[in-house]
Amino acid sequence: MTCETRIGGVCTALTGDAVAGDTYYTGNGCVDCHFADATGPPSIVESSCSTMFDKLSGAVTHGGGVFDGVTEQDAADIRAWIDSL
Ligand code: HEC
């Protein structure tokens, strides 16, 4: 899975690591709101890598808040983890 575009710029094509994505997702409490299988509410199963990054970085408003230090690689990793479910 690659992270193609995002608000405010072009992001480098990245290859996600599903294991790292699972670790980030669990370790940062995403699981509390979006459930262990990412079905929400709201579901993020269909969310693109770029949406993932924009939400977590605070480029767009996120009901779960801003995750300081999140990288595009983290977003690509989470996306890869969801794809692996
Ligand atoms: C306190 C609850 C909470 C936590 C924790 C949380 N979120 Fe969210 N998230 C929400 C809510 C509510 C929305 C819907 C409103 C919005 O889009 O901001 C949302 C929206 C999203 C969306 C956009 C869905 C779409 O396609 O429109 C993504 C992607 C997302 N969250 C990913 C994450 C990830 C990854 C984490 C962990 C790093 C996380 N969230 C942590 C509550 C949370």
| C-alpha 13 to ligand 1 mean position (Å) | 23
Q: Is the pLDDT of residue 67 over 50?
A: yes
Confidence of residue 3 (pLDDT cuts 50, 70, 90): low
* Ligand 1 atom index nearest CA of 62: 18
Q: Alpha-carbon distance 5 to 13, whole Å?
A: 9
Q: Is the pLDDT of residue 13 over 50?
A: yes
Domain count, the chain: 1
Domain span holding position 66: 5-84
Query: For 1-85, where are the alpha helices, taking DSSP H only?
Result: 18-27, 30-34, 49-57, 72-84
| C-alpha 62 to ligand 1 mean position (Å) | 6
Which pTM does this prediction carry? 0.91
78 Cβ inside 6 Å of ligand 1 = yes
Model confidence pLDDT, tens digit, residues 23-56? 999 999 999 999 999 998 999 999 888 888 889 9
* Ligand 1 atom index nearest CA of 24: 38
The Cα-based distances of 3 to 41, 42, 67 in angstroms read 23, 21, 18
Query: Average pLDDT of the chain?
Result: 86
Q: Alpha-carbon distance 6 to 22, whole Å?
A: 22
